[in-house]
Structure 1
């Protein structure tokens, strides 16, 4: 009888520890997220399930072109790409991104740009940081984010600059559906 009690106790402790470790990982290190909407097409599809790395920005800062998840409101998280960092000036002209006056390559937009037919205009409309945010440069502690589906994305062009404090983490690993498993850039 004593041996059975000990086995139950050992199994209970092991399960308790396993659940505790799983909760710590889930709430402090990594968390799953489901892509909701088409603002990141073609890079991410509606319904893709991804892992968010929550610790990366605890020890560092966002990098240009990171795909990040952030609190857009109390009940809503958005997933977008970091385009501008603190100290940057952003501008778009003739479908070309300029950061601090230098043209930038955005290979993740190539397939969408190829799909545009003659006369359909540009993927990304012309704008400057000043026109969208009344700032000349992005202030410390903020980033400028955009969805890859530039014609259908509620991003910094509409909601303004994003506080780095509102960023949950970055993501690049799709784990579902099985046909999409992999790393995205």
Structure 2
């Protein structure tokens, strides 16, 4: 009788652990996943080796921080979405212009720059040959423009290559932060 009770107790613990693993697997595979930041291209927003939570079910919007499959490497990059399908993009005298509207970029790393520009002048057409961002693509830039390999170098990113949107930095614990979208 006592052995039967122990077997039932062990079976119930096994079932709980199995269900926990199944829920964790489903969440990680389809809803959210931790990602380790590699490099300084998004500094000061993210630093090398920060751990972030990426939502795989978010709708991608302008200025989101996204993780996507790198175009020419078997890696993932994290960058900021600047242009969405249908957008025109221009950088003039360090001012971002999207669809004719100027945007301040308080997130851009300008600390190490004295008199020089942080971002060189460009238009979307000069970089990609496209007047507007085509359907199914986005244009991304790193926050550390002087050290970022981004759409200025490799062009537009297919939306199908987006892994997810960064929602929260969870490590280091002293820098834990939930990321909110800036108001346009």
Instruction: Give the structure-1-normalised TM-score.
Output: 0.91
Q: Distance in 2 between matches of 1:76 and 1:116?
A: 29
1:117 corresponds in structure 2 to: 114
Q: CA deviation at 1:115?
A: 4.3
1:99 corresponds in structure 2 to: 98
Q: CA deviation at 1:65?
A: 0.3
Where 1:55 maps in the other structure, the secondary structure is coil
1:69 corresponds in structure 2 to: 67
Q: CA deviation at 1:107?
A: 1.6
Q: Which moved more, 1:149-158 or 1:96-105?
A: 96-105
Q: Distance in 1 between matches of 2:41 and 2:110?
A: 15
Higher helix share: 1
Identify which of 129, 135, 138 aligns with 2:133: 138
Q: Distance in 2 between matches of 1:161 and 1:116?
A: 27
Q: Distance in 1 between matches of 2:106 and 2:167?
A: 16
1:170 corresponds in structure 2 to: 165
Q: CA deviation at 1:100?
A: 1.6
Q: Which moved more, 1:143-152 or 1:5-14?
A: 5-14
- 8 A Cα contact 1:49 1:176, kept in partner: yes
Gaps of at least 5 residues in structure 2 are none
Q: Report whether the alignment pairs 1:81 with 2:114.
A: no
Q: Distance in 2 between matches of 1:2 and 1:174?
A: 47
- 8 A Cα contact 1:39 1:153, kept in partner: yes
Count of residues in Structure 1 that have an aligned counterpart in Structure 2: 177
- 1:23-61: per-residue Cα shift (whole Å, max 9, x none)? 1111111100011000001111011000000111xxx3x
Q: Distance in 1 between matches of 2:110 and 2:40?
A: 16
1:44 corresponds in structure 2 to: 46
- 8 A Cα contact 1:43 1:184, kept in partner: no
Q: CA deviation at 1:75?
A: 2.0
Where 2:174 maps in the other structure, the secondary structure is helix
1:15 corresponds in structure 2 to: 17
Instruction: Give the structure-2-normalised TM-score.
Output: 0.92
Where 1:41 maps in the other structure, the secondary structure is coil
- 1:113-168: per-residue Cα shift (whole Å, max 9, x none)? 354223xx200000110111010100011100000000111100111101111111
Gaps of at least 5 residues in structure 1 are none
